[in-house]
Structure 1
Amino acid sequence: MAFEPRWYQQEAIDAIYQYFSASQGNPLVCVSTGGGKSVIIADFIHGVLQHWPDQRFLILSHVKEIIEQNHE
């Protein structure tokens, strides 16, 4: 991607990959307000699609504005 994730964002992304390499199911990543959850999601999805382009994703939010911001 065109940006460099912060260290804790990269740790979260790495943890997701580690989870899927060892387990099946749905991992949960907790990041505080302003921690860049959208950046983590985008970077993870970008990496997955580079290796497995047929994957599909569903991103849910309880706030419409977050979805709109992420779409932009």
Structure 2
Amino acid sequence: MVTQVEPESPAAEVGLESGDLIVGIDDEPITSSTALVGQVRERGAGDEATIAYIRDGERAEVTVTLVTRPDEEG
């Protein structure tokens, strides 16, 4: 479950909200936060990913362009 969405982040730009339940990335099921992190790490900055999520019992999808988080820059 999304616990926080950083302002001006790709997640915020596509409308993800705190409380959304991410259930898939690019047709890969997400069953845990560990699986989510693993799927995101397999992709690089600039890659697009389709995120499937559930909000208020309704499934939806958004496409997001991944970026490097400031605390991950080397």
TM-score (norm 2): 0.28
Please identify the structure whose Cα radius of gyration is greater.
1
TM-score (norm 1): 0.28
The structure richer in strand per residue is 2
The structure richer in helix per residue is 1
